[in-house]
Structure 1
Amino acid sequence: MSQPPLSARPAPFLSTESLRALSETARAAGTGQALDELWTARRFLDGTPAAVAVLDPELRYLYLNDTVAALNGLPVEDHLGRPMPEVIPGSGPSARVAREVLRTGRAQTVVFDGRVPVDAADTPRWWLGAFHRLDGENGEVLGVAAVVMEVTEGIRQRESLRRAQDRLELLEETATRVGSTLDAAEACRALTDLLVPRFADYAAVDVLDPEGTRKAPATPVPVRLRRMAVAAAPGLPEPLTPTTRSGEVIFHQASSSMTQVLTGHRPMVLNRPDDDTLRLLAPTRQRLEHYRALKVHSVAYLPLMAGGEPVGAVIVGRRADSPEFTPEDVELLELLTGRAATAIAHALRYTHEHETALEMQRAFLATPHTPGPGVEIASRYLPAGRGAEVGGDWFDAVALPGGRTLLVVGDVMGHGVRAAAAMSEYRSLLRALALQGLDPDRLLTEADRTAHALDLDRVATCVLALLDPAAGEAVLATAGHVPPLLVRPDTAPELADLPVGPPLGTGSDGYESRRCPLPPGSLLLAYTDGLVERRGEDIDTGLAALTTLPLASGRPLPDVLTSVLDRLAPASSEDDVTLLAARTH
């Protein structure tokens, strides 16, 4: 398709004064209607707040109003007859659109950005421009007309709303990812994974160490922190990956940035620190060399504040070609770490209590158990899955006079440190009463009365089995506990048929004992309800499954426990599982 011919080089439009004079002359001669209309149109173009310009096919200015001149910072006369790119070096986007309109003849409405010479701040601005080609009566191309309105404020408002929305979504993502776990290490890893590589090339979370610096000091002193999580951007060469590991203890000097952040409760940003500052930044010489090898040029420290007190701090670093931290970056990082701090503090408290309770329980369960003659025992304890609190399960074996052995398996209601502490009280109470030679029903009655009198704040279930290998029998009693499993030689496994008494600590009384034959080679398996109880499932289903297990009475006890756990123990239990197996000889 052939291009329309270009007109001869047109001259710039008449000036406003000349056009007004012509209009007045024509009006005096009685022939001024056309010129009056032209004069009115010119007054409209000159007075509109929109920037209006007419360019010839070489993009030379033929006409422009005062709005264009004000934007460009030059008088109207300095534009006329000169190409737009020459007058305004930054007019590339609008010039490209104008050339496209001249070539195709199709009008275009576009938004473009740029800067204007009169803007001392040199900040980007945006315009909405409408461009259309001007054709003569014979189809020749006369030029292009442009009407441009500034839309900077609207775009800035839209960008501000978008950033606010992005920020809100980021904060919600932080709360979801960091707050979705009660494991402190996982919560801290979720935060570093959120920061890298989105905001930094390197990130670490250090928390106050319960075994060292338990609380942030009021004045700068050396502090001991535990590194809970560390992350580096993908693609870093192996020698440049972080030297620290999760769980590592790190000592920070009194003059370090970390100590200042913990005592001042304010973030600290170091963009392009000098060598002296960098030496203060690094806790060790090895770490200093590592920072230099990483080419870290900017570091930000942000305290993790919860309840007005720091529980640790986040370190983020940028290296190589990454930009320095801006005030906007730091503001967003403060919001992000502030949202994460509460979840991390909660996870730290829970993790500390969980580990304390678990250690208490393991310490009690690790106490040596020595059954009486003719009885061998084996035990197994599985704490609840990650994210669940430690319960109050326990087991015990007490050798008694006359060659008898008392087996105990119990479960304190509730979870956590208080449940573990109550477990130790019930365990000690039952041991002391067992040495009085009481039958299981009397023993439970005395234990219940004593616990009720002591006002123990937790009730407990338990099952007692008094084994007498010489007599070939066992005396069983239960306080609200699941029945033990009996496997006699050459018989199928069966649950002991026991009257169920109330849990200990209720002061209700009403316990009964049952005598069961237990010939040599018999197996007794006592357990807690975590083995057979499932959410949304009747416990009888789990008990029935236990009786169908192929448990030969002569199998080694550790193999019996392994078989039971492999078949019945859930992959992620909400409760502890405790097993105690005994065989008589």
Structure 2
Amino acid sequence: MTHPRPSAGSAPVLSTGTLRELSEAARAAGTGQVLDELWTARRFLDGTPAAVAVLDADLRYLYLNDTLAGVNGLPVQEHLGRPMPEVIPGSEPSAEVAREVLRSGRPQTVVFDGRPPDDRADVPRWWLGAFHRLEGEDGEILGVAAVVMEVTEDIRQRESLRRAQERLELLEETAARVGGTLDAAEACRALTDVLVPRFADYAAVDVVDPEGTRRAPAAPVPVRLRRMAVAAAPGMPEPLTPTTRSGEVIFHQASSSMSQVLTGHKTMVLNRPDDDTLRLLAPTPQRLERYRALELHSSVYLPLMVGGEPVGAVMVGRRADSPEFTPDEVELLELLTARAATGIGHALRYTHEHETALEMQRAFLATPHIPGPGVEIASRYLPAGRGAEVGGDWFDAVALPSGRTLLVVGDVMGHGVRAAAAMSEYRSLLRALALQGLAPDRLLSEADRTAHALDLDRVATCVLALLDPAAEEVVLATAGHVPPLLVRPDAVPELAVLPVGPPLGTGSGGYGSRRCPMPPGALLLAYTDGLVERRGQDIDAGLAALADLPVTAKHALPDVLNTVLDRLAPANSEDDVTLLVARSL
């Protein structure tokens, strides 16, 4: 195989003036076609907006046009005969590409960045360079040709599109992660997870606290906020990670950054503030010392605005060698917190209502339940998971004259505070009617008529069990509720078959009852549908699973409840689960 051989020597390419004179002389002699073609090619190279150069095998400039000379910031004559790395400092990467082209003979295209010597703007520029080897007729290597075009604007546009796409994806990610939960603490943690370590070394989210500052003040005053989430980047000093705990109540003085952001509704940027500013803005002297220990040098405070009102604020900080916050970064942070604020606001409202309803329900269910003689009871209440609203489940035991006990388990339709309030009304109504000595079916009829007359805005299902230990029987009636489970001694558990009645509050009436044997030692388990009902599954499957549980009349009541819940209760229920088990003694 024959390899191209380098030329013995190289000389600068003929100048434009010399080539023009030769072309004119050749035309006068009638032999100028070849020189005319060369002259035309040279005029093309000299006039093209692309930067063109011809270098010899040692990468010395043989030719370059004015465009390239302008890019390099030196006259053409200061290039000729000199190696490219000597003329243009920082051009070694391009020289390496040229050497590889000389060695392999394969053309190469490369994008490189730099700054022309006379460019006063401190911004990067990019060029696209195409290199190919030049060879003589007999294969000797003459050098390498380079054609360079500036592509700065194209790259900037592509970079702008890329950043816009990344920004859009980040905003969508923030909305999905923060808005994907109704738990306020989880929503705030999702925001800090987005911010750290992508944008900051440290981030915290504080919200107005119903137990402290119920809403942001209109003027700078001391505020008591709850820190819902805090995150620190890897590398934060271990003793200081984190500087605060989630759930901690923080008192911010009137001059603090948080207080000003909440009242002014505007972002505050502190890039390397002096000590006097820090002392003024830090919530407490102790917190100022923590900031210094963390080496936090730059911070941004951003309000979380919902419907024109702040529900909290976000603080992000950078420490040690991290750079200051740029205007573009602050703008993006504002977009992120604006997108997150809606989700956090929804979660805060829901969490407040959820906890209020749960506290109401627990308060109602905490009322002592004392059955009549000959009856022992045990109960259990499991609220819905954090992602679901509290329902209106309840249970009750009412001791009646003649040694009887009325057991009630019910469920108000709907969820939230109003459902919990309606539950209290139905519970009180049934208690009052039970003390009149009505039979279970008549009691349901009166309760339905009264609830309808009072125009209660929610209906309720319930099951009544009137236990009479002396008669060794129980009278059962239901208002659209799941059937209770009967467990008699030496018998398999069975679901009671009862006359179907409509939920209370419809005004439809039409309730029936059934008497069932209840010998000493027998168990009765009443419950709400959250125990046996599953999304996408027929409720009969849940009822069958309940009837098949390994429960006997000999088991202690707490063990019965544990067995039922361990086998049937979902890990994260979408509905409340209420159980009431009674034994006839």
TM more than 0.5: yes
What is aligned with 2:468?
Answer: 468
Identity of aligned residues (%): 86
The question of whether the paired residues in 2 share the 8 Å contact of 1:90 and 1:115 is answered with no
The question of whether the paired residues in 2 share the 8 Å contact of 1:479 and 1:511 is answered with yes
SS in 2 for 1:311: strand
SS in 2 for 1:167: helix
Query: Matched residues in 2 for 1:520 and 1:134: separation?
Result: 109
Q: Report how far residue 510 of structure 1 moved.
A: 0.6
TM-score (norm 2): 0.96
SS in 1 for 2:388: coil
Q: Report how far residue 57 of structure 1 moved.
A: 3.0
Query: Matched residues in 2 for 1:536 and 1:529: separation?
Result: 14
SS in 2 for 1:228: strand
SS in 2 for 1:500: coil
Whether 1:162 and 2:162 are equivalent positions in the alignment is: yes
Which runs of structure 2 are paired with 1:538-577 in the superposition (5 Å)? 538-577=538-577
Deviations 1:266-295 (A, max 9, x none): 222212222222223432223222222221
Query: Matched residues in 1 for 2:410 and 2:381: separation?
Result: 12
Whether 1:55 and 2:55 are equivalent positions in the alignment is: yes
Residue identity in the other structure for 2:578: T
The question of whether the paired residues in 2 share the 8 Å contact of 1:116 and 1:122 is answered with no
Q: Report how far residue 2 of structure 1 moved.
A: 10
What is aligned with 1:233?
Answer: 233
Residue identity in the other structure for 1:569: A
Q: Report how far residue 231 of structure 1 moved.
A: 1.1
Deviations 1:190-230 (A, max 9, x none): 12112222222111111111111121222211111111111
Structure 1: 5+ residue runs without aligned partners? Answer: none
Q: Report how far residue 545 of structure 1 moved.
A: 2.4
The question of whether the paired residues in 2 share the 8 Å contact of 1:465 and 1:475 is answered with yes
What is aligned with 1:15?
Answer: 15
Q: Report how far residue 480 of structure 1 moved.
A: 0.9
SS in 1 for 2:373: coil
Q: Report how far residue 118 of structure 1 moved.
A: 2.6
What is aligned with 2:221?
Answer: 221
The question of whether the paired residues in 2 share the 8 Å contact of 1:302 and 1:334 is answered with yes
Deviations 1:83-116 (A, max 9, x none): 3223322323322222222333332221111111
The question of whether the paired residues in 2 share the 8 Å contact of 1:195 and 1:203 is answered with yes
What is aligned with 1:132?
Answer: 132
Deviations 1:214-260 (A, max 9, x none): 21222211111111111111243311311211111111121111122
Judging changes above 3 Å, is the alpha-carbon distance between structure 1 residues 545 and 22 closer, same or farther for their aligned structure 2 residues? closer
Judging changes above 3 Å, is the alpha-carbon distance between structure 1 residues 554 and 104 closer, same or farther for their aligned structure 2 residues? closer
Q: Report how far residue 474 of structure 1 moved.
A: 2.2
Whether 1:421 and 2:439 are equivalent positions in the alignment is: no
Q: Report how far residue 138 of structure 1 moved.
A: 4.7
Query: Matched residues in 2 for 1:79 and 1:264: separation?
Result: 61
Query: Matched residues in 2 for 1:393 and 1:160: separation?
Result: 56
The question of whether the paired residues in 2 share the 8 Å contact of 1:392 and 1:414 is answered with yes
Q: Report how far residue 311 of structure 1 moved.
A: 1.4
Query: Matched residues in 2 for 1:316 and 1:445: separation?
Result: 61
The question of whether the paired residues in 1 share the 8 Å contact of 2:237 and 2:294 is answered with no
TM-score (norm 1): 0.96
SS in 2 for 1:501: coil
Query: Matched residues in 2 for 1:576 and 1:173: separation?
Result: 31
Q: Report how far residue 462 of structure 1 moved.
A: 0.7
Judging changes above 3 Å, is the alpha-carbon distance between structure 1 residues 29 and 551 closer, same or farther for their aligned structure 2 residues? closer
Which runs of structure 2 are paired with 1:84-163 in the superposition (5 Å)? 84-163=84-163
Residue identity in the other structure for 2:411: D
Judging changes above 3 Å, is the alpha-carbon distance between structure 1 residues 562 and 509 closer, same or farther for their aligned structure 2 residues? same
Q: Report how far residue 487 of structure 1 moved.
A: 2.2
Deviations 1:378-410 (A, max 9, x none): 111011123111110001111222222211110
Query: Matched residues in 2 for 1:243 and 1:123: separation?
Result: 39
Q: Report how far residue 365 of structure 1 moved.
A: 0.4
Query: Matched residues in 2 for 1:26 and 1:292: separation?
Result: 82
Query: Matched residues in 2 for 1:132 and 1:382: separation?
Result: 77
Q: Report how far residue 262 of structure 1 moved.
A: 1.6
What is aligned with 2:387?
Answer: 387
Residue identity in the other structure for 2:218: A
The question of whether the paired residues in 1 share the 8 Å contact of 2:253 and 2:284 is answered with no
What is aligned with 1:355?
Answer: 355
Residue identity in the other structure for 1:477: A
Q: Report how far residue 8 of structure 1 moved.
A: 5.0
Query: Matched residues in 2 for 1:142 and 1:116: separation?
Result: 28
Query: Matched residues in 1 for 2:523 and 2:130: separation?
Result: 92
Which runs of structure 2 are paired with 1:278-357 in the superposition (5 Å)? 278-357=278-357
Which runs of structure 2 are paired with 1:371-520 in the superposition (5 Å)? 371-520=371-520
Deviations 1:37-87 (A, max 9, x none): 221111111100100111233333221111112212222223223332233
What is aligned with 1:43?
Answer: 43
Residue identity in the other structure for 1:459: V
Residue identity in the other structure for 1:199: F
Count of paired positions = 585
What is aligned with 1:273?
Answer: 273
Query: Matched residues in 2 for 1:18 and 1:550: separation?
Result: 109
Deviations 1:533-552 (A, max 9, x none): 22222222222222232333
Query: Matched residues in 2 for 1:564 and 1:514: separation?
Result: 25
The question of whether the paired residues in 1 share the 8 Å contact of 2:49 and 2:67 is answered with yes
What is aligned with 1:580?
Answer: 580
Residue identity in the other structure for 1:579: L
Q: Report how far residue 516 of structure 1 moved.
A: 2.5
The question of whether the paired residues in 1 share the 8 Å contact of 2:372 and 2:400 is answered with yes
What is aligned with 2:198?
Answer: 198
Q: Report how far residue 471 of structure 1 moved.
A: 2.7
Query: Matched residues in 1 for 2:95 and 2:234: separation?
Result: 42
Residue identity in the other structure for 1:309: E
